Amino acid sequence: MSDASLGFPMLAASALTQAIGFLYHRAEVVLDRRAARRVSAQPELPEEVPDVVVGDPGNARDFDPARVTEEQAERLETLLDVLGLYAEHERPVDEQDERLRRALGRLRTLLEEVYGRHITFVGEERPASGRRIVNKAGQVHGISRALKARRVSSGAGFDVEHTAEVVHPGAEMTSVEVEDLH
């Protein structure tokens, strides 16, 4: 992980407080579902996504708990320990606090790994929150598509990385194929 990927945007204290609460909640959901501490037949109430989040971060339960590794869970727990004082409003948020912003950057990067989505905040120059699709091929002999969809909303956000080392003659490589954009 590079230092640049761990950065977190400069936000006003109120927006930073919203970002902390959002990321903290997401980390708790990941840990709870992974540990199967939260088994309920009742559907969970919809999550309120704060205005400071740009794009569609998806549903907080939209990940596979079985794919969350022990190392990821330990890193999440460590970051929740660091950020708990801010999330529970026991320590005032200082937007100039580099340690806080580094911890938030690490938490965001880890959650992006777990969810397979970007999580972007106001003022950042990065893709909006949404699905990240990575399709890397060595050699393409037939057809390679990163995303094929019948119907997609015009507001849907995808960040597609589709690469191949060699595309052989007669082969086809299409990053995004959408039949109906509405």
pLDDT tens-digit map of 12-70:
888 899 999 999 999 999 999 998 754 455 556 677 888 999 888 888 888 889 899 99
- The single-letter DSSP state of residue 41 is S
pLDDT tens-digit map of 107-143:
999 999 999 888 999 888 887 776 667 778 888 888 8
Token pair recorded at residue 110: 């880890």
Contact 74, 140 (CB under 8 A): no
> What pLDDT score does 5 carry?
42
DSSP H or E run through 71: helix 70-87
- The reported pTM is 0.71
Q: What 3-state class would DSSP assign to 21?
A: helix
Cβ count near 131 (within 10 Å): 19
Chain mean position to CA 1: 15
Please determine, for residue 102, whether its predicted confidence score (pLDDT) is greater than 70.
yes
> What pLDDT score does 91 carry?
81
pLDDT tens-digit map of 66-90:
899 999 999 999 999 999 988 887 7
Helix %, strand %, coil % of the chain (to 5): 35, 25, 40
Token pair recorded at residue 135: 């399709």
Arithmetic mean of pLDDT, 161-170: 85
